[in-house]
Structure 1
Amino acid sequence: MKDVSSPLQPAKTSRLAYIDWMRGLACVLMFQTHCYDAWLSPEARKSTFFMYSQLGGTLPAPLFLFLAGISFALVTDKLILKGVAPGPIARSTIWRGAEIFALGLLFRLQEYLIAWGWAPWTDLLRVDILNTIGVSMMLMGLTCWIVLASPGNVAQRARLGITAAAVALSISLLTPPLWTSWRPQWLPWPLQSYINGVHNLGKPQAWLFPIFPWAGFAFAGLAIGFLLRAEWTRCHEGGLFLVAGVFGVGLIQGARWLDSQPLHLFATYDFWHTSPAFFLIRVGLLFTILCASYIWCRWGPGQWAFSPLIQLGQTSLLVYWVHIEFVYGRVSILSKRVQGMMSASIGLLLIFLAMLALSLARTKLKGRGVKPFWRDTTPSSQRLAQPHQEVTAPPQLLRSRNVGGS
């Protein structure tokens, strides 16, 4: 029987490098968003540059969630091919999601202790990006278990992909009412906050990451991830990514057209926070970036030499965790809210170089047998390209690298 994993075997360059490259891109976009937001003076914040910086800041969280979904699909499919039953697959993937969720709670505890004396205790229960990635992974594990445990005539990958796409669309469509007329106010606010980001402030907060709509990006990644593992894809991989790019552009234009129509599905219209049209536009952007990243890493100079983005992408949780303190925390390298554009940009460059150095040090230490808790930096392709290795739990592709924030 032909080894279906063979097209993913690591060569001189990795065919899955685009995953790490995209995650590294999300890190850079995250750095610039946080640095300019933390350091720029009120006057500098009125500039067009800052407006576009914040617009770019709408991408890191969707990118991290989208890539978590893709990675989840690749690992789940590999376990299916190895004959692992739906129950063990669900247990291991849901458990990994719970671990990520626990890291999110630990991060909130750390932030609270660092800010002891002025941070409210409610910050411990804030729904941040790590929490949402963990919850999304648990929901994806549950969804895959339901599909795999249900009989059906359609191929498993097709059923999984279609179900994931349907869940993503459903999350998008349910977001407007769950933020307004359907708010589950009967829930305690710490639980309701995971639905619509209400926190303890009486209404949904745009700076939080509730399941609706954010988990939708993870399920969109789950759908494309199963498509990437299809038999046809392995023979026409380049063509699929080109189609994904074209589809992404079409999705963006179609969503813009829908949004321009005089009639809307919901009485309350909030384009930037709950609109299904904005959700589809961002999914379209994710597909377009996926295509561009694949082209850059597969046929372009993305892997000709050392790639800072691929390196950052392999340690994304670490650099996310650390850079926050040097940007927003007590040890911020610049005084907050008083900087001009030049000084803030120099600070951004320093943060980028420092995080890259930290990432390289992490990789070097791992090579010496040092294994910090945050992740295994084995390249994505090597984790997926070991057909003779027994797998009883998700490979390290689902490690905490699938995180970040905006």
Structure 2
Amino acid sequence: MYSQLGGTFPAPLFLFLAGVSFALVTDKLLQKQLSANQIAKTTIRRGAEIFALGLLFRVQEFAISLGWAPWSDLGRVDILNTIGVSMMLMGVMCWAVLKARVDRTFLSDLPEQAHPTPTRVSAPHVQQNMVITAILVTAAIAFLTPLLWTTWRLHFLPWQLETYINGVHNLGTPQAWLFPIFPWTAFAFAGLAFGFILSSNPVKNAGTRTFAFILAAGIALIYLSKFLDSRKLQLYSVYDYWHTSPNFFLVRLGMLLLLIVFAYAWCRWGLGQRAFSPLIQLGNT
């Protein structure tokens, strides 16, 4: 059990941190009063660049192994591909939330303005909308994963596209060693929600108390996962806890929150204050 949890932990960590950093960057762009289109252009382009780098790595590996590597390796979905796709999807989500907010503000102000031109976002509840939407997308990805891997498989798609949905590659069935959108992108959207929560003023003002709540939330998610997994009644006709179950997603998300609390404590009260800390060094680099 513990080897399976630990062995699958780095990828969720990378994706979660990608979501957190995406939220922090988007928040900075919002503070600069950029329009929704400008923010989307910046963030989606960055995701596309990372996705392109992932494809280039595939080409490099294929060239190095030329002669014995199958051509299908070029279509393998690896973690860098998924990070790039996740960032583009998060950019689309943020753009949709910002545009919806602008449109609502525009309609409410319409009778009072002769020539309204709502191009910039200054609504006070944008972060709240981002958090709620990101959580909903996270839940949707987690709940749809078992279906898209089994009974709802998109057989009509060529495997080069379907593999980004469920990691089927060219092997006929979804492969657990690949990194498709379902379920992996859910970690990025969870990080996106977490990042917007951290950047909100109430959380900033709460200080250390914030991490007490994060600790409690992490423990609660782990025990919720164990509780749901122990139930005899399951929602899915095919239940695979270690690969597609939303319960497994919950336990890994809980572990991520505990790791964040540990990192904070290490830098705030632990050896990070007395000796070299890789986390502090990373933040200063």
Answer yes or no: same fold by TM over 0.5: yes
1:256 counterpart letter in structure 2: K
Q: Does 1:94 align with 2:64?
A: no
Q: Does 1:85 align with 2:35?
A: yes
Counterparts of 1:3-402 in structure 2 under 5 Å?
52-151=2-101, 155-308=125-278, 314=282, 379=284
1:165 counterpart letter in structure 2: I
Q: Deviations over 1:159-198 (max 9, x none)?
A: 0011001100110000001001111111110000000000
Q: Aligned residue pairs: how many? A: 265
Between 138-147 and 242-251, the greater mean CA deviation after superposition: 242-251
Structure 1: distance between partners of 2:280 and 2:63: 32
Highest relative contact order (Cα 8 Å, sep 6+), 1 or 2?
A: 1
Q: Is residue 59–residue 74 contact of structure 2 (8 Å, CA) maintained in 1?
A: yes
Q: Deviations over 1:14-71 (max 9, x none)?
A: xxxxxxxxxxxxxxxxxxxxxxxxxxxxxxxxxxxxx754541110000000000000
Q: Deviations over 1:311-350 (max 9, x none)?
A: 6xx4xxxxxxxxxxxxxxxxxxxxxxxxxxxxxxxxxxxx
How has the CA–CA distance of structure 1 residues 134 and 303 changed in structure 2, closer, same or farther, with 3 Å as cutoff?
farther
1:59 counterpart letter in structure 2: F
Structure 2: distance between partners of 1:264 and 1:379: 47
Q: Deviations over 1:187-213 (max 9, x none)?
A: 110000000000000010000000000
SS at match of 2:237: coil
Unpaired segments of 5 or more residues in structure 1?
1-50, 315-377, 381-406
How has the CA–CA distance of structure 1 residues 275 and 137 changed in structure 2, closer, same or farther, with 3 Å as cutoff?
same
Q: Please state how far the C-alpha of 1:291 moved relative to its aligned partner.
A: 1.1
Judging by fraction of residues, say which structure has more helix: 2
Q: Deviations over 1:259-309 (max 9, x none)?
A: 100000110010111101001111111111111111111222224332346
Structure 1: distance between partners of 2:160 and 2:173: 13
TM-score (norm: length of structure 1): 0.63
Q: Is residue 5–residue 252 contact of structure 2 (8 Å, CA) maintained in 1?
A: no
Q: Is residue 167–residue 175 contact of structure 2 (8 Å, CA) maintained in 1?
A: yes
1:186 counterpart letter in structure 2: F
Q: Is residue 101–residue 134 contact of structure 1 (8 Å, CA) maintained in 2?
A: yes
Q: Is residue 171–residue 213 contact of structure 1 (8 Å, CA) maintained in 2?
A: yes
Structure 1: distance between partners of 2:254 and 2:97: 26
2:166 counterpart letter in structure 1: N
1:119 counterpart letter in structure 2: A
2:95 counterpart letter in structure 1: W
Q: Is residue 195–residue 210 contact of structure 1 (8 Å, CA) maintained in 2?
A: yes
Unpaired segments of 5 or more residues in structure 2?
105-122
Q: Is residue 267–residue 277 contact of structure 2 (8 Å, CA) maintained in 1?
A: no
TM-score (norm: length of structure 2): 0.89
SS at match of 1:150: helix
1:78 counterpart letter in structure 2: K
Q: Please state how far the C-alpha of 1:379 moved relative to its aligned partner.
A: 3.2
Q: Is residue 271–residue 277 contact of structure 2 (8 Å, CA) maintained in 1?
A: no
Structure 2: distance between partners of 1:194 and 1:379: 35
Q: Please state how far the C-alpha of 1:130 moved relative to its aligned partner.
A: 0.1
Q: Is residue 245–residue 292 contact of structure 1 (8 Å, CA) maintained in 2?
A: no
Q: Please state how far the C-alpha of 1:110 moved relative to its aligned partner.
A: 1.3
Structure 1: distance between partners of 2:171 and 2:205: 52
Q: Deviations over 1:91-131 (max 9, x none)?
A: 11000000000110111111112222221110011000000
Q: Is residue 263–residue 279 contact of structure 2 (8 Å, CA) maintained in 1?
A: no
